[in-house]
Amino acid sequence: MRNKIVAGNWKMNLTFQEAEELLSEIADKLEKIELRDTEVVVCPPFPYLEMALDIAGESVFSVGSQNLSEYEKGAYTGEVSAQMLASMDVDYCILGHSERRKYFGETDEIIARKVDQAIRHEFIPIVCVGELLSEREAGKHFDVVREQLEKGLFFLSEDEFSSVVIAYEPVWAIGTGVNATPAQAQEMHAYIRQLIESRYGKDVADETPILYGGSCNASNAAEIFAQPDVDGGLIGGASLKAEEFVKIVEAAVNKK
Ligand code: PEP
């Protein structure tokens, strides 16, 4: 059976000292719970990765980056390559987040190149898909998500795809306080799993973790995670508070 995952996306928040404090608090709280088949991932900003890896080394959580370059190496000022991150032992990488699509012009084609980099350097990519509110209102949400998956991910071979984690993040739910209902999340997650099955077969579909993201917090996580095709969450705002984040982790652990 597939593992459950709770990943924290810190985005561009916190000073170095605040980040260190938060990670230590998360590590302390995680020590008190038995994670069983749940993985915890923290994705801080790039400059904090080394410090996060140090604390993670004494704890049970893994570390991910929030992005990586589509290019392998060379004259790309300001970019951070998959090779660099892999050499630091970063395990996960968030790709295709809607904020990168919106503010940095990332298209499905760019995301596909980043996914390719991530796979070549043996990362576990957490690939985000999700529709805008206008697209849902127009009844196009399934088509939008299908296209994002087909262009951004389904070029991978079956073997390559087997390390991928997908996060369904309806854009209208990110940072808004309006989460998808458990039924809306389940409907889309089941659809995504069905698409994976058509492309890669049932075994791969059954093993692919599909996370929900969008205003998920300690109050609604258990209900959302209880859905059969929801395998945990990608958590933004609520991952910046240790107590709240670890309660969300507990909701995943307690999922039947
Ligand atoms: C996110 O940015 O991935 C996210 C899910 O944000 P929030 O939890 O704040 O809605």
pLDDT, tens digit, 9 for 90 and up, residues 13-67? 999 999 999 999 999 999 999 999 999 999 999 999 999 999 999 999 999 999 9
pLDDT band, very low/low/confident/very high, at 189 (cuts 50, 70, 90)? very high
For each of the domains in the chain, give its residue range(s) and CATH number, in order of start.
4-253 (3.20.20.70)
| pLDDT confidence of residue 256 | 85
Among protein residues, the one with the nearest Cα to ligand 1's atom 3 is 236
Rounded average pLDDT over 227-254: 98
| pLDDT confidence of residue 161 | 97
Whether 218 contacts 179, CB under 8 Å: no
97 in catalytic set: yes
Q: Which helix (H) or strand (E) holds 109?
A: helix 108-120
Catalytic residue, candidates 106, 135, 169, 250: 169
Ligand 1 neighbourhood includes 232 CB (under 6 angstroms): no
On whether the pTM is more than 0.95, the answer is yes
Neighbours of 181 (CB within 10 A): 14
pLDDT band, very low/low/confident/very high, at 138 (cuts 50, 70, 90)? very high
189 in catalytic set: no
Rounded average pLDDT over 213-219: 98
Whether 124 contacts 94, CB under 8 Å: no
Cα 179 to ligand 1 centre (Å): 10
Pocket residue to mutate for ligand 1, from 5, 11, 42, 239, most atoms within 8 A of Cβ: 11
**DSSP strands (E only) in 3-153:** 4-9, 38-43, 62-65, 92-95, 124-129
- Bigger pLDDT: 87 vs 89: 87
Distances (CA, A) of 54 to 14, 27, 35, 58, 202: 18, 11, 20, 7, 38
Q: For 153-169, how does the pLDDT look when each residue is reduced to its tens digit (9 = 90+)?
A: 999 999 999 999 999 99
pLDDT band, very low/low/confident/very high, at 150 (cuts 50, 70, 90)? very high
| Mean pLDDT value across the chain | 97
3-state secondary structure of 151: helix
Ligand 1 neighbourhood includes 229 CB (under 6 angstroms): no
DSSP character for 3? P
Whether 26 contacts 58, CB under 8 Å: no
Ligand 1 neighbourhood includes 9 CB (under 6 angstroms): yes
Whether 170 contacts 180, CB under 8 Å: yes
Ligand 1 neighbourhood includes 236 CB (under 6 angstroms): yes
Kindly tell me the burial class for residue 187, based on how many C-beta atoms sit within 10 Å of its own C-beta (0-12, 13-18, 19 or more). middle
Neighbours of 134 (CB within 10 A): 10
